[in-house]
Structure 1
């Protein structure tokens, strides 16, 4: 058995964290969350057989593997600011 990291964004599973740049990662607790568009990428740390081949595994099987994760980490990325009126 080996341990790997899988990432889920929306309804897709990836081997590497998708699409987002590190500088867009939300690193602090902000009170203005409602002013930002935030996307969540979930990281799953999973044990799999040594002969596991990501490319040969169906999306449903990958989701099933993720549900059995040893550890789950959520990563938050700021993708924009919401329009708002300042009073």
Structure 2
């Protein structure tokens, strides 16, 4: 089952008896860290492109409609071609 949007993604798997996520959220709030949705919007506004790997999506049963708006689709060849011509690239 896919989360519906970045704000519904789990923050951490570091449970620490239930306190890990709460502690992390508190530190993020105290330090005024933007939400994942805000970070994605900022990156895209700055020209970053998000490319979903079609092979991985097929393997995991992820449909294009499951992705957030603005995600392009491509395979590893697309990623390598684009990454070789960019100033920076992240493969997650």
**Normalized against structure 1, the TM-score is what?**
0.24
Determine which structure has the larger strand proportion and give its number: 1
Whichever structure has more helix as a proportion of its residues is 2
TM-score by length of 2: 0.23
